[in-house]
Amino acid sequence: MKIKILTIISVLFFISCGSGKETYQASGVFEATEVMVSSEANGKILSFDIQEGQQISIGNEYGLIDTLQIYLKRQQLLYGIEAMGGRSIDVNTQIAALEEQLKKLKIEKQRVETLLQKNAANTKQLDDINSNIAVLDKQLKAQKSSFE
């Protein structure tokens, strides 16, 4: 009895293994090639005329980016340059005024030195003029360095 059951089980086992005629349509791993396309400019995309899978070539235009922000930034820079041009003229005027004040103080210094030799002035007046000359000289150097 045990042999009959064992024989039936082994026959069923071999029958259930199948004939080995399984047909496969396809098997494997499919991979997509992804390409990142970036723009040289920033901005809102106004049009983009490409369909998925479409072949494209280098150098052709396929989209349009809103350039208003770039244009406005360019205009702002141009106006800034224009304003700086006007400022340089102002700097020349300021330098000329400082040089004139310095010239006047040097003349005043000579007068005070002459008066000091004749005991008609005190040394404080000369010290004040010397300090004013030093201050104006530093202002003049600072103004010239900011102009360059």
Q: pLDDT for 65-116, tens place per residue?
A: 888 888 999 999 999 888 877 665 677 788 888 899 999 999 999 999 999 8
Q: Percentage of the chain surpassing pLDDT 90?
A: 24
Confidence (pLDDT) at 147? 67
Catalogue the E-assigned strands of 13-109.
45-48, 63-65
Confidence (pLDDT) at 10? 79
Catalogue the E-assigned strands of 1-145.
45-48, 63-65
Confidence (pLDDT) at 76? 95
Confidence (pLDDT) at 148? 66
Confidence (pLDDT) at 39? 72
**Mean pLDDT computed over every residue of the chain:** 83
Residue (of 108, 86, 98, 76) closest to 145 by Cα position: 98
| E strand or H helix that includes residue 134 | helix 123-147
